[in-house]
Structure 1
Amino acid sequence: MKVSNKILAIKNYNHYLDIDTNAAKYRIILLNNEIVRIRCTFDEEFTEEASYSLVLTAWEDKMDHLLKEERKRIEAVCTRYEDLDTHIRLTTKKLLVKICKEPFAIEITDKEGNILHSDLKEKSYVKDTLGRLYHYSCMDDEDYFYGFGEKTGYLNKKKRRMRMHNVDTIGYDSEYTDPLYKHIPFYIKFNNRNGIASGIFYHNSYDSIFDMGCERSGYWNKYSYFCADGGELDVFFIYGPEIKDVVRNYTDLTGKTALPPKYSLGYMGSTMYYTELDKDSDQAILHFLDKCQEEGIPCDGFFLSSGYTTGEDGKRYVFNWNHARFKDPANFVKEMEKKGASLAPNIKPGMLTSHPLYKEFDEAGAYIKDENEENSQIDRYWGGPASFVDFSNPKGRDLWKKHLKKSLVSFGITSIWNDNNEYEISHSEAVCNFEGLKKEVSALRPIMPNLMALMAKETVAEVYPNTRPYITNRAGFAGIQRYAQTWAGDNNTSWKSLKFNIPVILGMGLSGVANQGCDIGGFFGPAPEPELFVRWVQNGIFQPRFSIHSCNTDNTVTEPWMYPSYTKYIRAAIKLRYSFVPYLYSLLFEASTQGSPVMRPLIYEFQQDQKVLEESFDFMFGSFILVANVLEKGSKTRTVYLPAGVTWFDWHTKQAYEGGQTIELEVTLNSIPVFFRNGAIIPMSEDLTNIHNDPIDKLKLLIEPSQDSSFVLYEDDGITNNYKNGEYLKTVITVKKNSGVKITFEKEGNYNKQVKEMDIDLICKDVAPVQVNLSDRKLPMFLDKKEWEVSEEGWHYDIEQKTAKIKYININGSYDIHISFDVKDLISI
């Protein structure tokens, strides 16, 4: 076993510092004022920089050409250091990095001296006799740990031991199964003692383990550790001090969430059942869309399960169409488009040895090779023995794109569903091309699904350069958010899955993946009972990916109308989803620029409220809306803790509650407990039934003005890449208490298809307005609600909901609205 205990030499190269110890070499890079890179190798030299994951660098990298459109090169902070006898010290504008000489260890503090990270001295960086690498960190009793990508169980992962490894976990237990489909070795630490958040990203794609305080030894201070099966200990420390700062900095490093096409925010139908019919699956799907319209249920697309690829032998062959089930695929895609729905076909990277295209890929050298690099590696897969496309090989990428174009994209398909891409290759020494560098698959397994998603993005761009792709991935590594929406795989149909899928999604959001969700209604198991199905849809409408998808084990199919007497609840929930489209699209724009999650744990917004440190099931939808779904069977009441420091309003009644208290609500099957906070600015659409075809001509704004606030409303055409050339409209809506209330609309961008009518619901908790001015023009006031409804502009006060309802024709350019609340003295008049 090798342990770094003593510094032998230090050499400063100005933008990085090299340190030799008795056991390992270290390279310290101050990437910027918030991010410190600690690179450690126990080999003679550092390996060549070659990362598929990083998009922010300060060094040359083997993948610069491949990622040239994504990667940003900066100049690192100068590594001039102070020698303070027992240790040396590096400094950024926000951090102090203390490197102890003997015993060797690294400690990072803020400028006030708060310890943010501390290596476990005498055991900080270790390589064991089996070649495994360990990094031990000191742990405080007041530390809480969040993130880790796609992990089951409660939000706080303290006292958990978790494995990082992509695996196909069909029917998993959402409280206990580990690992799942994603491998994201990143976490956020929040110390409740000093109120500061920081993060650690291990830039290592080998299988690994996080132990967050499960292991205990009386010889050492309390510690956590990371253990990887190989590679280097490449550690990125990421400063907060708020959790949202850590997420922003981490997504600067690994990439922001891709801005999806707007239609992907709609309801996406799906089921394996239709594509397993003996024939006419295409007609079944078209009928499904007609049935949605008949039932008044909005729908904007369909995920096409892999049964469409079934060959004559009953096995699934990617890029193959079963013409008994789909007579004319190109025409089928056109028929879908006519009905306002996109088609997202399922594709898989494992190709069975009986696949008609197997030989072409094999002879081209497009598969991952065996350990001797002589033959394509063959391994276990759904349907039989298969080889896996090597996306780290230009030959594999080119051939994959060729057939993706020919069989799918050329038909007008721009939505791609990448499935079964965990690369569960049991022979860990099988060889990947790795851009000619050659590397064992155990080092690159979780990278493959990221590259598979990149190939889908490139293929769509090559055929339709100005069309925004919609890519969905089941597996992935850090950075998958740059290319794809993800979902939490083949969940089990149970009340437990409904409940514990929420912290799974929240953890992904904290790990940089803002656009994700789970299969609504449960994928694997019997059909969901009516109450469970209703509650799951009521939760699913807040997930960025909203798809009811199933492979029921009782010969049934999960459809929105499967229980006719309950369809009204399903319809109401999905319509509520569609009313949130302007808000949700703006949140995804925020994710694409700031890295912010859409579904956010309460701790993300209310870091100083100790009562939300371990809240796993209630969550924020953006920064303004708190969702407390009913998650227990047969519930008649629901208790909700409302975070302190703000006032909360019931979504339905507008009743106000002061934060910092727990309330109890009566609930029925129709109940979706939702609250908005003071300062809320929530743009909504009314009567939207299809995102593809229905323009949003009228925008509704729900505003609570008792606290100064702002929100960025983002609009573009929702489908093209024109927004990259300025064809967007970004409206900064600012609310300030200023001799009443002033609402300012500051507009930026060249997108000119803005909404025609603006409706504002202004919460007026204490007193009604006396006058409303639109850009210094007085709007008429209506006492009679019906007169207001038929008017083109004006305002009316709803005393029951204590809301001023203001409407007007939208104005090009920036403008403001002023609402006066001066109380009239009617007696003295």
Structure 2
Amino acid sequence: MKVSNKILTIKNYEQYLDLDTNAAKYRIILLNDEIVRVRCTFDKEFQEEASYSLVFTAWEDKMDDLLKEERKRVAPVSTKYEDLDTHILLTTKKLNIIINKEPFVIKITDKEGNLLHSDLKERSYVKDNLGRLYHYSCMDDEDYFYGFGEKTGYLNKKNRRMRMHNVDTIGYDSEYTDPLYKHIPFYIKFNNRNNIASGVFYHNSYDSVFDMGCERSGYWNKYSYFCADGGELDVFFIYGPKIKDVVRNYTDLTGKTALPTKYSLGYMGSTMYYTELDKDSDQAILQFLDKCQEEDIPCDGFFLSSGYTTGEDEKRYVFNWNHHRFKEPGNFVKEMKKKGASLAPNIKPGMLISHPLYKEFDEAGAYIKDEHEEKSQIDRYWGGLASFVDFTNPKGRKLWKKHLKESLVSLGITSIWNDNNEYEINNSEAICYFEGLKKKVSALRPIMPNLMAFMAKEAIGEVHPNARPYITNRAGFAGIQRYAQTWAGDNNTSWKSLKFNIPVILGMGLSGVANQGCDIGGFYGPAPEPELFVRWVQNGIFQPRFSIHSCNNDNTVTEPWMYPSYTNYIRDALKLRYQLVPYLYSMLFEASILGSPVMRPLIYEFQHDKKVLEESFDFMFGSFILVANVLERDQKTRRVYLPEGITWFDWNTKQVYEGGQTIELEVSLDSIPMFFRSGSIIPISEDLMNIHKDKIEKMKFLIEPSQNSSFVLYEDDGLTNNYKNGEFLKTEISVKRDNGVKITFEKEGNYNNQVKEVMIDLICKDIAPVQISLRDKKLPMFLDKNKWEISEEGWYFNIEQKTAKIKYLNITENYDIRINFDVKDLISI
């Protein structure tokens, strides 16, 4: 065993600091004022910089050319240090990095002296006799831990031991199963004593383990540790002090969420059932879309399960169309588009040895090789023995893209569903090309699904240069958000899955992956019972990815209308989803700029409120809406804690609640408990039924003006890359209290939306307006709601909901609205 205990030499190169210790070498890089990198190797020299994950660097990297469209190179902060005898001190504008000489320990504090991180004294960086690497960190009793990518159980992962390893976990238990499909070695630490958040990202793609306080020893202070099977201990410390700052900085490092196509926010139909029919699967799917229209259920696409690829032997062969089920794929894609639906076909990176294309890939050297680099590695896969495409090899990438384009993208398909891409290769000694460096698959397994998504993006771009790709991945590593939406795999059909999939999604959002979800209604098991199905849809409408998908084991198919007496509840929930599309799309634009999650744990928005530290099931939908779904069978009431410091309003009734209290609501089957906060600005589209075809001609804003606030409404065509050339419209809506209320609309960009009429529901909880002016022109006030409805502009006051309802024709320039709340003295008059 090797343990670093003493610094032997220090060499400062200004852009980095090298330290030699008795056991390992260290390189300290101050990437910026908030991110500190510590590289540790127990080898003689550091490995060559070669990262598929990082897009924010201060050094040369072998992947610079491959990632040239994504990567940003910066000048680091100088590593000039002070030698203070027992330790050296490096500083940035926000951090102090204290490196103790003997025993060797790294500590990081903020400028006020608050301890953000401390290695465990005399046991900080370790390599054991089996080659495993450990990093031990001190723990505080007031530390809470969030993130870790896709993990089951409650939101706070303190006292958990978790394994990082991609695996196909069909029918998993959403409370206990570990690991799942994603491998994201990043977490956020929040200290409740000083109210400061920081983050740690381990830039290491070997299988690893996080122990967040499970292990205890009386000989040491309380500690957590990270253990990797190989590679380097390459650690990025990320400063907050807010949780949202940590997420922003982490996504600067690994990339922001790709701006999705707008139609991907609609309902994406899916089921394995249709593609397993003996014939005419294409007609079944087209009839499904017709049935959606007949049932008044909005739908914008269909995930095409892999049954469309089956050969005569019923094996799945990627890039192969089964013409019994899909007679003319090109015409089928066109018919889908006519009905306002995009097609996202399933593809898999494992190619069965009986695959018609197996030999072509094998002879091209496109597969991962065995440990002797003599043959393509063959392993277990769904359907039999298979080899796996090596996406770290230019030959593998080129051939994969060739067939992806020929079989799918050339038909007009710009949506790709990457499935079964966990790369469960049992021979850990198998060799990946790794851009010529050659490396064992054990070092690169979780990288492969990221590169698979990258290739889908490139293939679509090469055939349809101006089309915005829509890619969905099941597996992934840190940075997957740059290319793909993700989902939480083959969940079990149960009430537990409904409930515990929420913190799974929340943890992913805190780990940089804003665009994700789970299979609504459950994938694996019997058909969901009616109440469970309704509750799952009512929760799923808040997930960026909304797809009812199933592989029911009772010969049934999960469809929106499967229980006719309950279809109205499904329809109402889906229509609410479509009403919120402008808000959701704007949030995903925010994610593409700041990395912010869409579904946010309460602690993300209310870091000051100690009562939400461990809340796992109630969440914020963006910054303004709190959702407290009904998650238990036969529930008649629902207790909801409303975070302190602000006022809350019931979504439907507009009833007012002060924050800092727990309320109890009566609930029925149609209940979706939702609350919006003071300062809310929420855009709503009431008539949207198909994102492909419908234009939003009436835009409504729900505005609560009791505190200053702002929101950016983002609009573009939702389909192309024209937004990169300025064809977008960002409207910053600001509310300021200044002798009444002033609402300003400031616009940027040249996208011409189709909005003709604007409506505002202005919450007035204490007093009704006396006058409302648009661009300094007094708007007419109506006492009769019917007359207001037929007018082009004006306002009236709904006293039951204490809401001023304002409407006017859309204005393309910047403008403002002023609301006067002076009390009208009727007696003196």
TM-score, scaled relative to structure 2: 1.00
Aligned to 1:788: 788
Aligned pairs for 1:373-384 (under 5 A) are: 373-384=373-384
Q: How far has the Cα of 1:738 moved from its partner?
A: 1.2
Shift, 1:776, TM fit:
0.6
Cα distance between partner residues in 2 of 1:310 and 1:812:
52
Identity of aligned residues (%): 86
For 1:52, the equivalent position in structure 2 comes to 52
Secondary structure at the residue paired with 2:297? coil
Distance 1:296 1:751 in 2: 30
1:433-448 equivalences under 5 Å are: 433-448=433-448
Q: CA deviation at 1:570?
A: 0.1
Letter in 1 for 2:544: P
Which residue does 1:759 correspond to in 2? Answer: 759
Counterparts of 1:712 and 1:619 in 2: how far apart (Å)? 21
1:588-611 deviation digits (Å, cap 9, x = unpaired): 000000000000000000001000
Is 1:123 aligned to residue 106 of structure 2? Answer: no
CA offsets per residue over residues 534-587 of structure 1, 9 Å max, x none?
Answer: 000000000000000000000000000000000000000000000000000000
Task: Report the alpha carbon displacement of residue 672 of structure 1 after superposing the two structures with TM.
Answer: 0.2
- Equivalent residues in 2 for 1:154-165, closer than 5 Å: 154-165=154-165
Query: 1:41 & 1:757 partners in 2: Cα distance?
Result: 62
What secondary structure is seen at the aligned counterpart in 1 of 2:560? coil
Partners of 1:814 and 1:394 lie apart in 2 by 50
Answer yes or no: is 1:193 the counterpart of 2:187. no
Alignment RMSD, CA only? 0.4
Map 1:472-511; keep pairs closer than 5 Å.
472-511=472-511
Q: Which amino acid aligns with 1:330?
A: G
The DSSP-based 3-state class of the residue aligned with 2:539 is helix
Q: Give 2:398's aligned residue.
A: 398
Alignment-derived partner of residue 100 in structure 1: 100
Partners of 1:355 and 1:721 lie apart in 2 by 36
Please give the per-residue CA displacement for 1:753-798, whole angstroms capped at 9, x wherever unaligned: 2511100000000111111110111111110000000111110100
Partner of 1:664: 664
CA displacement 1:294-320 (0-9 Å, x = unmatched): 000000000000000000001000000
CA distance in 2, matches of 1:90, 1:739: 49
* Distance in 2, Cα, partners of 1:348 & 1:118: 43
2:306 matched residue in structure 1: 306
2:734 aligned counterpart, secondary structure: strand
CA distance in 1 between counterparts of 2:782 and 2:608 reads 44
**Counterpart position of 1:287:** 287
2:813 maps to 1:813: yes
Partner of 1:419: 419
Matched, 1:572 2:572: yes
Query: 1:605-645 CA distances to partner (integer Å, 9 max, x unpaired)?
Result: 00010000000000000000000000000000000000001
CA distance in 2, matches of 1:478, 1:464: 27
AA of the residue aligned to 1:347: I
**Matched positions, count:** 829
2:8 is matched with 8
1:514 paired residue number: 514
Divergent runs of 4+, >2 A = none
Amino acid at match of 1:620: M
**SS, match of residue 344 in structure 1:** strand
> Aligned residue for 1:216?
216
Q: Distance in 2 between matches of 1:254 and 1:69?
A: 14
Q: Check if 1:179 corresponds to 2:155.
A: no
Q: By how many angstroms is 1:806 displaced?
A: 0.3
Q: Secondary structure at the match of 1:168?
A: coil
Q: Give, in whole Å, the separation in 1 of the partners of 2:742 and 2:755.
A: 21
Q: Distance in 1 between matches of 2:249 and 2:756?
A: 38
In the other structure, the counterpart of 2:773 is: 773
- Opposite residue 345 of structure 1, the aligned amino acid is P
CA apart distance, 1:21: 0.1
TM-score, length-scaled by structure 1? 1.00
* One-letter amino acid of the counterpart of residue 476, structure 1: G
| 1:621-660 to 2 correspondences below 5 Å | 621-660=621-660
Matches of 2:506 and 2:418 in 1, distance apart? 22
Q: Structure 2: which amino acid aligns with 1:411?
A: L
Aligned positions of 1:125-144 closer than 5 A: 125-144=125-144
Query: 2:344 — aligned with what?
Result: 344
3-state SS of paired residue (2:331): helix
Q: Is the 8 A contact 2:81 2:89 kept in 1?
A: yes
Matched, 1:684 2:684: yes
CA distance in 2, matches of 1:520, 1:691: 20
1:5-36, CA deviations, whole angstroms, 9 ceiling, x for partnerless residues? Answer: 00000000001000000000000000000000
In the TM superposition, what whole-angstrom CA distance separates every residue of 1:468-511 from its partner, at most 9, and x where no partner exists?
00000000000000000000000000000000000000000000
Measured after TM superposition, the shift of residue 813 of structure 1 is 1.4
Q: Partners in 2 of 1:651 and 1:745 — Cα distance?
A: 24
Does structure 1 conserve the Cα–Cα contact (< 8 Å) formed by 2:714 and 2:728?
yes
User: Per-residue CA shift, 1:665-707, capped at 9, x if unaligned?
Assistant: 0000000000000000000101110000000111000000001
Aligned to 2:541: 541
Match of 2:325 in 1: 325
- Counterpart CA distance in 1 for 2:649 and 2:241 is 29
SS of match in other structure, 1:210: strand
In structure 2, the residue matched to 1:356 is 356
Contact 2:695-2:754 at 8 Å conserved across structures: no
1:551 — aligned with what?
551
Which stretches in structure 2 are left out of the alignment for 5+ residues?
A: none
> Following the alignment from structure 2 to structure 1, what is the Cα–Cα distance between the partners of residues 32 and 49?
18
The match for 1:39 is: 39
CA offset digits 1:427-461 (Å, max 9, x no partner): 00100000010000000000000000000000000
The corresponding residue for 1:237 is 237
1:170 aligns with 2:170: yes
In 2, the alpha carbon distance for the partners of 1:753 and 1:314 equals 48
Q: Give the partner amino acid of 2:190.
A: F
Residue in structure 1 matched with residue 704 of structure 2 by the alignment: 704
Residue number in structure 1 paired with 2:71? 71
C-alpha distance in 2, partners of 1:440/1:374?
Answer: 14
Deviation at 1:807, TM superposition (A): 0.4
| Pair 1:151 & 2:173 matched | no
Q: Secondary structure at the match of 1:333?
A: helix
Equivalents in 2 of 1:825, 1:775: separation in Å?
Answer: 26
Q: Measure the CA separation in 1 of the matches of 2:707 and 2:529.
A: 43
Distance 1:185 1:312 in 2: 42
Cα distance in 1, alignment partners of residues 70 and 754 from structure 2: 30
Letter of the 2:676 counterpart: F
